[in-house]
């Protein structure tokens, strides 16, 4: 015998761009997003009995994204994701939970002749601002925020030594190396009871994103890193201090290796240790270091 133990479905890769036009200043602001909506609830018959009467069509979900974007602000993304996630359980009694993920793509205002241009933008990197919201009937909203694709590198100030050495070890110890990573950082907020609770805290979301980004960059640059593990732990702790409303911070940092090239074979040319100038960037394999740092249960806002 078998049973359907879990199910959710929805619309993925809904591309959305909204242009806000300030008539007073003649300045435009552009927001581009990719949205995913997944629903849970009393939808078992669509799987087990081929009964589509419980299915909210995924095309309807796509339309809902566009209509709610027209009728509501889409920034900060935590707010728009909460509006979307709250809509579905409120609209459809048999839907008990909605999962919404938003990826906000980077458009940076151009500076032309030393002045911000009113309606022209450039994409100055692959970095995205991400949000995930889950709205479950009776339990409120779980909100997670994130940064992804923030590529950083420093040419010194990183070491790695004192690690386990045994018959499997070939890696040499180093007291100075290039450190580079593609930052994925996420932070989970305290539980929001209602959509109004989210709306009342809107200013916190942009402030937290800015604080997290700044802490990540500053700690990466200034820390005399003993390891990726030690540096990411410092970052997460500082974020918890800076944003009291956040309960958990997690990082996923791939260690993007840059190896010295031994050129001794060519006329004794020195290019290792203190003489290293030319490196070979490595695409794979790479280290991958993750952690979650949580506020202790005794901590209070």
Q: One of 34, 58, 128, 142 is an active-site residue; which one?
A: 58
Question: Tokens representing 94?
Answer: 């048999």
- Residue 128, class by beta-carbon neighbours within 10 Å (0-12 exposed, 13-18 middle, 19+ buried)? middle
Per the annotation, the verdict on 11 as an active-site residue is: yes
Ramachandran bin of 245, using left for φ above 0, alpha for ψ from -120 to 50, beta for the remaining angles: alpha
Q: One of 11, 62, 87, 96 is an active-site residue; which one?
A: 11
Q: Interhelix angle for 202-222 vs 77-91, to 10°? A: 130
Q: Evaluate whether 38 touches 85 at the Cβ level (below 8 Å).
A: no
- In angstroms, rounded to a whole number, what is the distance separating the alpha carbons of residues 22 and 94? 40
Alpha helices (H) in 172-290, listed in sequence order = 195-200, 202-222, 228-242
Question: Tokens representing 256?
Answer: 């993007």
- Residue carrying the six token digits 């290796």: 257
Per the annotation, the verdict on 161 as an active-site residue is: no
Per the annotation, the verdict on 117 as an active-site residue is: no
What are φ and ψ of residue 291, in 5° steps?
-160, 155
Residues within the annotated binding site? 58-59, 160, 177, 228-229, 255
Residues within the annotated binding site for urate? 58-59, 160, 177, 228-229, 255
- CA-CA-CA-CA torsion for 88, 96, 208, 157, nearest 10 degrees? -120
* Three-state secondary structure call for residue 119: strand
DSSP category for residue 173: P
Letter string b/e over residues 155-189, b meaning 16 or more CB atoms within 10 A of that residue's CB? eebbbbeeeeeeeeeeeeeeeebbbbbbbbbbbbb
Which residues are marked as active site? Answer: 11, 58, 257
């Amino acid at each position: 015998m078998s049973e359907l133990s879990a199910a959710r479905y929805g619309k993925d890769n809904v591309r959305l761009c909204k242009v806000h036009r300030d008539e007073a200043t003649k300045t435009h602001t552009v927001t581009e997003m990719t949205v995913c909506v997944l629903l849970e609830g009393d939808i078992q018959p669509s799987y087990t009995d081929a009964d589509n009467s419980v299915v909210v069509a995924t095309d309807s979900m796509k339309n809902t994204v566009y209509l709610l974007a027209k009728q509501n602000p889409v920034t900060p993304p935590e707010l728009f994701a909460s509006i979307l996630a709250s809509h579905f359980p409120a609209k459809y009694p048999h839907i008990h939970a909605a999962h919404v993920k938003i990826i906000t793509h980077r458009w940076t205002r151009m500076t032309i002749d030393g002045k911000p241009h009113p309606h022209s933008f450039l994409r100055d990197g692959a970095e995205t601002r991400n949000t995930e919201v889950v709205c479950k009937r009776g339990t409120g909203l779980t909100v997670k925020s994130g940064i992804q694709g923030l590529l950083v590198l420093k040419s010194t100030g990183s070491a790695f030594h004192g690690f386990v050495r045994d018959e499997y070890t070939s890696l040499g110890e180093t007291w100075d190396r290039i450190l580079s990573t593609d930052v994925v950082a996420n932070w989970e907020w305290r539980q929001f009871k209602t959509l109004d609770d989210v709306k009342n805290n809107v200013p916190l979301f942009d402030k937290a994103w800015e604080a997290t980004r700044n802490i990540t960059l500053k700690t990466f640059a200034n820390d005399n890193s003993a390891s990726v593990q030690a540096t990411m732990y410092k970052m997460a702790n500082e974020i918890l201090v800076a944003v009291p409303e956040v309960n958990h911070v997690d990082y996923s940092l791939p260690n993007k290796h840059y190896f010295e090239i031994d050129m001794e074979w060519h006329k004794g040319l020195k290019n290792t240790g203190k003489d290293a100038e030319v490196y070979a960037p490595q695409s794979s394999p790479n280290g991958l270091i993750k952690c979650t740092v949580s506020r202790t249960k005794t901590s209070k806002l």
